[in-house]
Amino acid sequence: MLNPEEEIKRVSAKHALRRSMTLRRDELSDEERTKRSKQACEMASEVMKERHVQSMMIYVPFRSELDSRPLVEWAWEHGLQVIVPRSLPQDRSMELYELQKWDELIPGAYGILEPDPQRSKMFMNDVPDIIWVPGLAFDRNGGRLGYGGGYYDRLADRLCHEVHDAARLKEPLWVGIGYEVQVLEHVPMEEHDRVLDGLVTDLGYSGKAGPGLRRDNEWN
């Protein structure tokens, strides 16, 4: 356990890293973000085809985040179930909804477009086959730096229980998705942080065995 002074230093370092990585992402031009987002989404679709995915959970992009919309469009075209989260700030949890059309989205608690509970069907009693996780930074060992709210960590805990209760044979695959410029050699992680199963960027996929994966990129 860290002493109070060490804890303050740790938190300050994480805040500084978040600011730095946000600026790095923001510095990409609109044209570059569009190009890199399309490349990453194409690779993500290959991952899903390889794994015969039938349902995916994905975020709606905000500010300079990688644009996930091409992947959503691809999923709809191929008959996949698209699940999108809705944030609940009171307990920092997320509700999941099936998204069938873009006009089912409305601004949520943080100004991010989220499913309208009056129009979208809640996704219950099951877990998605794959969960695409946004972030500020990633590494190639499953590390991820999020935004500090812990929403995805809480969701991981909840879905873990639901997988167990439903006696599913497989847990969902947790895969980060972002720009290659967001990849670091090492991302600081806490005990409670969810370790990712893989990572997709505009330069390809690394993680558990998947399409076009070189052995030296395979995670343990």
Lowest mean pLDDT among 149-153, 180-184, 187-191, 210-214: 210-214
State whether CATH 3.40.50.200 applies to domain 4-217: no
Place of tokens 């993500």: 44
- Give the sheet arrangement for strand 81-88, strand by strand: 121-122, 93-98, 81-88, 55-57, 130-133, 173-177, 198-201, 204-207
pTM as predicted:
0.89
d(CA 100, CA 109) in angstroms, rounded, equals 21
Angle of CA points 203, 68, 106, to nearest 5°:
165
State pLDDT tens for residues 93-135. 999 999 999 999 999 999 999 999 999 999 987 899 999 999 9
Lowest mean pLDDT among 3-17, 89-103, 157-171, 198-212: 157-171
d(CA 177, CA 161) in angstroms, rounded, equals 24
d(CA 152, CA 173) in angstroms, rounded, equals 13
> Could you give the 3-state DSSP secondary structure of residue 66?
coil
State pLDDT tens for residues 175-195. 999 999 999 999 998 888 889
d(CA 59, CA 136) in angstroms, rounded, equals 14
